[in-house]
Amino acid sequence: MPAQPYAAPPSAVDLPLPLFGPAPASRDASRLAPESPGVAHIPAAPDATDATEPAEGTTLTPEDRRAAVADLEQRYPGLWRAGQLGHPGRQPVWPAGYDALAAELPGGGWPAAAVTELLLAQDGAGELRLLMPALRAIAATGRRVGIVNPPYLPNAMGLADNLPANQWFWVRAPAGATQGARRADMLWAAEQMLRSQAFGAVMVWLSGARPEAIRRLQVLAHAGDTVVWVLRPRKALHESSPAVLRLSLSPMPGNVLSIAFHKRRGPVRDTPLLLPLAGMAHVPGRPAPVTEKSLVHAADTLDRGAPAAPVAGRAAAELA
């Protein structure tokens, strides 16, 4: 018979039990450390999880599983299931104002203290009308609303019907600024609004913002408990974004807004949401003709409503 490659190890040294205390009866040999020659072994301390671990061979009932998941969601509010809309956790949400939209937003509204990115198919797609219920609720708390670099001149009369005039602030880029300087100035203005912590909401139009710029806005929004809407062209969809919510907006005939969901804490929605914007005044495709006569007397020279082309022709003739 060939010799064994290894000699059998000597047996462990048995020491008196009183030296280490009574051996636990409930522990089995599989939980003890491997024995070494000439070394006495002390039983390991019970695991902290032993009291909560189910006995070997037992199965959890559906009620036990639901209770375990509920306990996890309570301890970690940031957790959410991929097949269900996420909840706001410890942070509140601002009302969406439209039931159909609220049913598709995590928590039932616009996430507070966070950045939401709206990708526009064109400027003036209805974004201000969409956000007006949330802006109205924020203004009711006494905090300010900032509008940074809008593509068009805000309608002061329309905003006054929804927001107190002393609570909303409009920032525009200086005339003659280059595109890069305009973008940097508007980003700086939005960051200063967030750092002041006096604004409850900030809307900022950024055509070419980089992800790190939006990430800075996200950090400041969380620190100042401010909701931020970053509005960008829809072509920015292929770029990464740290925003917690990402939607694209496209106007449809009949004052309907098509909303596509690209990023949210919840299941994927393949089809866009068609949301009627009730109360939105119809904007014609071209200026409507003037039907009322001017109240200016014919002898006055204040404003006769003369067409631009003849006036320009007369001015050119006089300068010649």
Residue 101 near residue 259 (C-beta atoms within 8 A): yes
Tell me the C-alpha distance between 30 and 42, whole Å: 14
Tell me the C-alpha distance between 70 and 267, whole Å: 19
Confidence of residue 189 (pLDDT cuts 50, 70, 90): very high
For the segment 22-49, the average pLDDT, to the nearest whole number, is 47
Residue type at 309 in one-letter notation: A
pLDDT single digits (tens) 129-167: 899 999 999 999 999 999 999 988 877 766 776 778 888
Model confidence, pTM: 0.63
Q: What is the pLDDT of residue 83?
A: 54
Which residues lie closer than 8 Å to 38 by C-beta, 6 or more apart?
10, 12, 13
Confidence of residue 286 (pLDDT cuts 50, 70, 90): very low
**Segments forming the whole domain that contains residue 272:** 93-276
Full strand arrangement of the beta sheet holding 227-233:
168-171, 144-148, 199-205, 227-233, 115-120, 245-252, 256-263, 273-276
Does residue 163 sit within a domain? Answer: yes
- Give the CATH number, domain containing residue 129: 3.40.50.300
Does residue 261 sit within a domain? Answer: yes
Domains in the chain, number: 1
The per-residue pLDDT of the chain, averaged, comes to 74
Residue 247 near residue 118 (C-beta atoms within 8 A): yes
pLDDT single digits (tens) 76-93: 655 656 555 666 555 589
Tell me the C-alpha distance between 124 and 298, whole Å: 38
Does residue 47 sit within a domain? Answer: no
Does residue 133 sit within a domain? Answer: yes
Q: Whose CA is closest to 249, among 265, 227, 233?
A: 233
Does residue 30 sit within a domain? Answer: no
